[in-house]
Structure 1
């Protein structure tokens, strides 16, 4: 469940990196989302501009037939809600779900929109961020069409494994990667035969991390990773 956590001088410094002085901002909070919790849901209002300073989240888009397609991941350093801010439309364009505990700085959009949009240094940063996201989305679209499932699955496992074990629900993974459950099983079996993974009771153990990364080729590398800390 979403909870408010202590806002420290460290978070103030992080905002200053984005040329956002704390003075004059309203309702700024440090927030923590639990693993599995939705940070925003496509089609529903997004209330805060969020700066992720710890954790991982996955970004999904819902297709017309009701299925979800994985677009990318957020790691530490990602910003959430800047598209909605710039479009003056509070409705979330994608769904973002925490895959670990995610800690963010939250700026209420309604109260701070005018101040943020009058900050030219911050707008320059947002422009750069959106350009990078557009570039990433363009390349991802090509990869989704041209790359093999093995490449996409390898990158997915690299990012979502927990302590070297991949144990996500396979029916959900198949939907997110836009494939069938049977095809997903065939590719997992192939990775086991190649010595990249080993199937055991809790899930799939990563045996050869270097080979897994080589297979994935950074397909689902995070859209932003500033390395705050």
Structure 2
């Protein structure tokens, strides 16, 4: 469904490029429009009360960014940061809202995207409340795999994150995620090589996530 909205935005695009670590948009700044990720990887982060940037979502090629803040007046509710060099297409807020007003089908597709996002959020909040760190950590690694896949070796995650970043996805302390990943490594569930993480047998990790 997102590809339909993607194509509509892409038809009226302004092409923008960002380097690794650059902000595509910042939390609290005015909402100028929506973005489609044409190339690269992006993380959506929000500054928590603990001073850390918590990863809320990961984006890949074809995903739409910034749409959740379109209808408010308080600006973007989180920041989008390039994980690697990226290319995005941008459509002005007023132009996009006019497209929604004129095109029922486009509006319906956007509602589907909102529903998908809300479902994902509900599942994440339920897991935070009910599942132990070990299971949530397994889910986080599977989530990264589902988003970015493996490299050519067929087992190494095609995106690297620091232990602190993984901890914010899981919703735990960095020390806890270091300990859990070390346990996973000892158990043969993953293989650690610096920031790179390999999953030699994804079925075994899926079993941990669903205990």
Above 0.5 in TM-score? yes
Higher helix share: 2
The change in CA–CA distance for 1:104 and 1:196 in structure 2 (over 3 A counts) is: same
Q: Which has the higher contact order (CA 8 A, sep 6+)?
A: 1
How far apart in 2 are the matches of 1:93 and 1:116?
21
Q: Which residue of 1 aligns with 2:44?
A: 59
Structure 2, unaligned stretches of length 5 or more?
none
- TM-score when scaled to structure 2? 0.75
1:197 aligns with 2:181: no
Residue 210 (structure 1) aligned to one of 199, 202, 205: 202
- TM-score when scaled to structure 1? 0.70
Q: Which residue of 1 aligns with 2:57?
A: 72
How far apart in 1 are the matches of 2:109 and 2:40?
22
The change in CA–CA distance for 1:58 and 1:154 in structure 2 (over 3 A counts) is: farther
How far apart in 2 are the matches of 1:49 and 1:216?
37
C-alpha contact 2:43 2:82 (8 A) present in aligned 1: yes
Structure 1, unaligned stretches of length 5 or more?
1-13, 219-229
Q: Which residue of 1 aligns with 2:83?
A: 99
C-alpha contact 1:47 1:109 (8 A) present in aligned 2: yes
Q: Which residue of 2 aligns with 1:6?
A: none
1:50 Cα offset (Å): 1.0
The change in CA–CA distance for 1:103 and 1:63 in structure 2 (over 3 A counts) is: same
1:145 Cα offset (Å): 1.8
C-alpha contact 1:33 1:103 (8 A) present in aligned 2: yes
Q: Which residue of 2 aligns with 1:151?
A: 135
C-alpha contact 1:18 1:125 (8 A) present in aligned 2: no
1:155 Cα offset (Å): 4.0
Count of aligned pairs between the two proteins? 199
1:82 aligns with 2:67: yes
Residue 127 (structure 1) aligned to one of 88, 93, 111: 111
